[in-house]
Structure 1
């Protein structure tokens, strides 16, 4: 295999000719082998890195800092990478020292070498187009990397929102399908008051739908970037109009409403938007886990549990117990939720760990948020397609549980009084009689009135009119 030699301030290194990255990426490969998850695991981050580099180059060209030949080659290189070329050359581990410098240089070097080939030169002939002098012109890692990371997170929310919209639609369909199935509602795992199974599934839909709006709000914060601030937000090594021009091009390239942060020094060290989106991911994870807990409870049994719904059978559940089917899809979502909650704790600690004008812990923040985004999107898709859509209801069993429950006595309190209701509930529990049988026997209500009060419409919502 042929090789090439590159030089930096630490000396010379030999790179295989197949490598499109350069010497600084090679050093990072040796230094950081933490997660085994390289940049190319997240294509959105690669794409936004090229958008930032192209936008910066466009601004530099307009300001007379890059010539026509260089800007054309940089444009072509960035577009080819966004089209899917050379993603495997983004090889640096997501967790790294240097506040993202290795990620930034990996992008600079790959873009430079691809552009050099376009210009008719060889990889590593940086005298014609340099990773730092040209690709990184008017930039620092401290503004280029977080800008790319923010936009990558925004783009990655698209898959999550799509999954949420899809599962919300599936839950709404189940709510309609189960609208007339009366069942017992429960608080503290004890019988409470009747409801419909449709109402229960509609509540699942609404709680997940709320987070779609929260994600959109967080994306607005993430689109406020510090590009043009360079090292600490002062804009050193840029021309006065550079930031505005670069952000205009970045907005065009990304299709996102990118705008400059109001105070670039503050924006360079502030992790607030990252903390916000991570918190929303945690909130969503908690909601999903709660829903999956409910699905597992509602389907428990089938003979010795609640057995109100049936989850679709995905695989045999035991190596020793024949016929056992486990709720494996909700269980997997539960575990995903636990991991996302842990990611949020990491983001919280890393966001707090910044000092003075920079937070050097941004790589672990970005790694955890992008990981959570991918995990949540996949888990929700799995829950939707391999569980929710196949759920069926045990209608007769649900109705019988309501009929036999003492929980329905709550609906009668306004008509027979709390003391009578408490006494009848206790009597029904001991005697195994139904609430209705005791009330009729004691002539507290006539049969017509009792039937009206205990109709599904009256027991699952406000009464339409007084008797």
Structure 2
């Protein structure tokens, strides 16, 4: 290694690898492997997810501590690597992780980016210059007893668990806001609809209660998903057989990783299986897709229920967030549900990418984990933000329009079903058709035709009678 001035005036250091030499900015913490990856992969324009970098650095810290404890790594070097890893975990040097999220090599480039940043920071900590790999080497020291093929998927699983915990919290907040509206709207009766046609009466609170139940199921499924991600192949090295990793190291590095991560990870019973197969990520992605589906349904309903406000259903009002048109004065759009819809569509599309990446693995390794990681971690983050946005920027500010709900109910044929057990299906059908063609209400026609008395109608058409099991009285 030597320092020189580049033709453009930049001071550089020269590093070498199996392909030759390359100039690296003298102040950079990354090295030649990272630089080649930066040049090779200009695909998404996005870096690897920061929580993935944090999780990989955590694994590196655990490995350094385990190797020191077992006498495989000099204590000064190991302590410097461990401190460097802690700094990366705290968010330092984030501008040094420059490899594109989409890359060939099963994550090797991101892994090497972390190895080089830790090695060069460790060099500084022991008083050496960046690039002085005789003192701290990215592979011989930082990567001791490891491979991309066990470090990267372990980091991915840890990062996914961290993010899923935040998503579960967001789902809990969303559920609470929906349940608050369920209570608030418990007395608002309205038309229920099937196939977008008038059906039977329902309470607005019951509709919001159903939304809350759907989110509760998603929350439970995601909570249980953590169990699926806990089995890691750390210590399996290249293909899961553990070549070049001492058995004492394998046990110790998993123990330390579990403690540092605050996650109950465990070494997989079959590390070859855990190295070559990515089906667990497809399973977790499917749970994310299920949440995206439910969020889409809820947002679609909100947009319908709030449509108008004059020429639509107009049964609820969404909070007004911004002007809706550059040409139509006074227009306000349901922008939060629309945005959440788009987030959900993105997650559904990502599920397909994850599926394709997982099935494309061959023999002992899946080379497409970077694509899988990009979409899986991204989807969890997007859904977390979407759930929070829907809860606090939309649902919290929803108000009911009880007069509109009542008017639509009285003007519909929805009450005919409640009358059917008392006057017969055919007679109830006749009343519904007469109401439709005449513009009068079913109740008014029933009174005029002396089919039922006012007292009988009042008992049958009570909100409590029409929105609970039973025939009404």
- SS of match in other structure, 1:33: coil
Distance 2:456 2:264 in 1: 61
Name the structure 2 match of 1:25.
34
Distance 2:169 2:225 in 1: 16
Does residue 259 (structure 1) correspond to residue 270 (structure 2)? The answer is no
CA apart distance, 1:384 = 2.0
- SS of match in other structure, 1:407: coil
- SS of match in other structure, 1:125: coil
Does residue 154 (structure 1) correspond to residue 176 (structure 2)? The answer is no
Map of 1:104-253 to 2, 5 A cutoff? 104-253=111-260
CA apart distance, 1:61 = 2.1
Stretch of structure 1 that moved more, 125-134 or 155-164: 155-164
CA apart distance, 1:230 = 0.7
Give aligned pairs, total: 464
Stretch of structure 1 that moved more, 297-306 or 273-282: 273-282
CA apart distance, 1:380 = 2.1
Instruction: Structure 1: give runs of 5+ residues left out of the alignment.
Output: none
Name the structure 2 match of 1:451.
458
Q: Deviations over 1:134-185 (max 9, x none)?
A: 1111111011000001111111123322222222211111111111011111
Contact 1:54 1:75 in 2 (8 A): yes
CA apart distance, 1:373 = 1.6
Map of 1:400-439 to 2, 5 A cutoff? 400-439=407-446
Contact 2:231 2:268 in 1 (8 A): yes
Name the structure 1 match of 2:295.
288
- SS of match in other structure, 2:247: coil
Contact 2:306 2:317 in 1 (8 A): yes
CA apart distance, 1:355 = 0.7
Name the structure 2 match of 1:271.
278
Contact 2:107 2:148 in 1 (8 A): yes
Does residue 376 (structure 1) correspond to residue 351 (structure 2)? The answer is no
Stretch of structure 1 that moved more, 373-382 or 436-445: 436-445
Map of 1:337-376 to 2, 5 A cutoff? 337-376=344-383
Cα-Cα RMSD: 1.4
Distance 1:240 1:253 in 2: 20
Distance 1:77 1:325 in 2: 51
- SS of match in other structure, 1:241: helix
Contact 2:466 2:472 in 1 (8 A): no
CA apart distance, 1:412 = 2.0
- SS of match in other structure, 2:415: helix
Name the structure 1 match of 2:80.
73
- SS of match in other structure, 1:72: helix
Contact 1:218 1:273 in 2 (8 A): no
Contact 1:171 1:201 in 2 (8 A): yes
Given candidates 8, 12, 17, the residue that maps to 2:17 is: 8
Contact 1:48 1:148 in 2 (8 A): yes
CA apart distance, 1:466 = 7.1
Q: Deviations over 1:54-75 (max 9, x none)?
A: 1122222232211221221122
Map of 1:74-113 to 2, 5 A cutoff? 74-113=81-120
- SS of match in other structure, 1:131: coil
Q: Deviations over 1:322-373 (max 9, x none)?
A: 1111111111111111111111111111111111111101100000111112
TM-score (norm 1): 0.96
Contact 2:105 2:367 in 1 (8 A): yes
Contact 2:460 2:472 in 1 (8 A): no
Contact 1:285 1:341 in 2 (8 A): yes
Distance 1:270 1:411 in 2: 55
Distance 2:463 2:107 in 1: 60
Map of 1:19-58 to 2, 5 A cutoff? 19-39=28-48, 42-58=49-65
CA apart distance, 1:6 = 1.0
CA apart distance, 1:385 = 2.2
Residues 341, 466 of structure 1: alpha-carbon distance in 2 compared, 3 angstrom cutoff: closer
Given candidates 291, 311, 319, the residue that maps to 1:304 is: 311
CA apart distance, 1:395 = 0.8
TM-score (norm 2): 0.95
Q: Deviations over 1:410-450 (max 9, x none)?
A: 11222222222222212221222222223333433332222
